[in-house]
Structure 1
Amino acid sequence: MAGVSAGEAVPVSDQNDVREQHGYIQQQEPRFRIRAHHTGTTVTVYQAYRPEIGRAAARNGRFPSSWSRDRMTWIKPSFLWMMYRCGWATKENQETVLAVEISRDGFAWALRNACLSHYVPALHGDQDAWKRQLRAAPARVQWDPERDLHFHPLPYRSLQLGLSGEAAARYADEWIVGIEDVTPLATKVHAHVWAGELERAAELLPQERPYLLEDDVLAHLRA
């Protein structure tokens, strides 16, 4: 596996061997469950920005004035899904990866006030009602396939949480406990993946455990 870059195709047999060896396939993992690095009072989410925003945020512990409150901002509890999205911090305007520690109360507020980004008849009734709910909600949720170290999709989903309006303002002004620039970590993990050193790469990953919530918090968000 040495010399195989993230995202590069590898034989299916090798993919399965790697995933099973390193625990990337978890047959018992529920399809919709939040996994995150968390404490008793906080949860860590990830975002990627261009350096002038990301570095200022990490330096000051809050987003700079150039950070737009008028756009939806997406936060991701999965480090590897963030790596998949930003290409190990190599994509344009995503060169700085931030680990943003926010309050559990704020995270729960966002989920309680969120709407699924796609229509599910069993949850929303008629489609027009869902569209009205989506327009009014300050947060939205989508579940995308979780990724392994080679960015192969896994059989369970990873939460993406979009914040706008009131939710974005609360996120920036009230929920943030700390911001860390984890771009060096992304670069180091990527280097091990590139070299085929998957055990070393896996050892560096943030410890993401199931994030337990009351059933009513996620009941309206399970697709």
Structure 2
Amino acid sequence: MKIPYRQIRAGYTEEAITVYQAYDPDIAAPAVAAQRFVEPFKRARMTWIKPSFLWMMYRSGYATKPGQTRVLAISLTREGFEWALAHSCLSHGVEGKENYPVRVQWDPERDTHHNALPYRSIQIGLSGEAVDRYLDEWTLSITDITPQVHTLHAQLRSGADITPALPAERAYPLPDALARAVGAQ
């Protein structure tokens, strides 16, 4: 089955969706301990969430890049995730972006070796009201998955196929209006 060019793929249940972020330990450790983002996390900055595990591995270099050495799996309410999509605009080619609390961009999805795939993965940038909702309402849990990421990276470097050990992701069931809003196909 051919994967659509733009499709949100994620791990999710009826109530929650998993997204990923990578931070320095100074931000990650307090967030895991509090089970919400707390100081020194800055509410005033745009924060990007990624439903694709492999895109997060590409972005963080399997938790090896400076400032991204801790990978967090964040469980969000689906209601909050869909609110973010409904209040978004595309990050490129849209006038009046400053009027939206959420930006989305579609970047090439990656394989386990960071090679670009022929379809896109969504990145969701939260700012203003969306960051407040993310921190105060939508976050259900925060799990530091860095040890698993390091294990996968070591296995990959030794030549193993890590595909069976990756988190299960499937097409997220977007209502038509949300699919149009984010440019999904």
* TM, length-normalised to structure 1: 0.81
Higher mean alpha-carbon deviation, 50-59 vs 40-49, is at: 50-59
> Are 2:144 and 1:156 aligned?
no
Residue 221 of structure 1 corresponds to which residue in structure 2?
182
Larger Rg belongs to: 1
Q: 2:28 aligns with which of 43, 50, 54?
A: 54
Q: 1:148 is matched by which residue type in structure 2?
A: D
Deviation at 1:63, TM superposition (A): 1.0
Aligned to 2:84: 110
Q: Work out the number of aligned pairs and report it.
A: 184
Does the alignment pair 1:166 with 2:129? Answer: yes
- Choose which of 170, 173, 177 in structure 2 pairs with 1:209: 170
Which residue identity lines up with residue 95 of structure 2 in the other structure? K
Partner of residue 97, structure 1: 71
1:36-51 correspondence to structure 2 within 5 Å: 36-51=10-25
1:112/1:218 contact within 8 Å kept: no
Residues 3-82 of structure 1 mapped to structure 2, 5 A cutoff: 28-82=2-56
Question: Which structure has more helix as a fraction of its residues?
Answer: 1
Q: In structure 2, what residue type is equivalent to 1:174?
A: E
Unmatched segments (≥5 aa) in structure 2: none
TM-score w.r.t. the length of structure 2 is 0.97
The CA deviation at 1:131 is 2.0
Q: Secondary structure at the match of 2:113?
A: coil
Distance 1:115 1:218 in 2: 12
58-67 vs 72-81, which moves further:
58-67
Gaps of 5+ in 1: 1-26, 120-129
Distance in 2 between residues matched to 1:99 and 1:114, nearest whole Å:
22
Q: Tell me what 2:143 maps to.
A: 180
Q: Which runs of 4+ in 1 moved over 3 A?
A: none
Is the CA contact (8 Å cut-off) linking 1:50 and 1:95 kept in structure 2? yes
List per-residue Cα deviations over 1:120-159 (Å, max 9, x = no partner): xxxxxxxxxx321x11100000000000011100001000
Corresponding position of 1:131: 95
Q: Which amino acid aligns with 2:106?
A: W
Offset of 1:93 from its aligned partner? 0.8
Match of 2:61 among 82, 87, 92: 87
More strand by share: 2
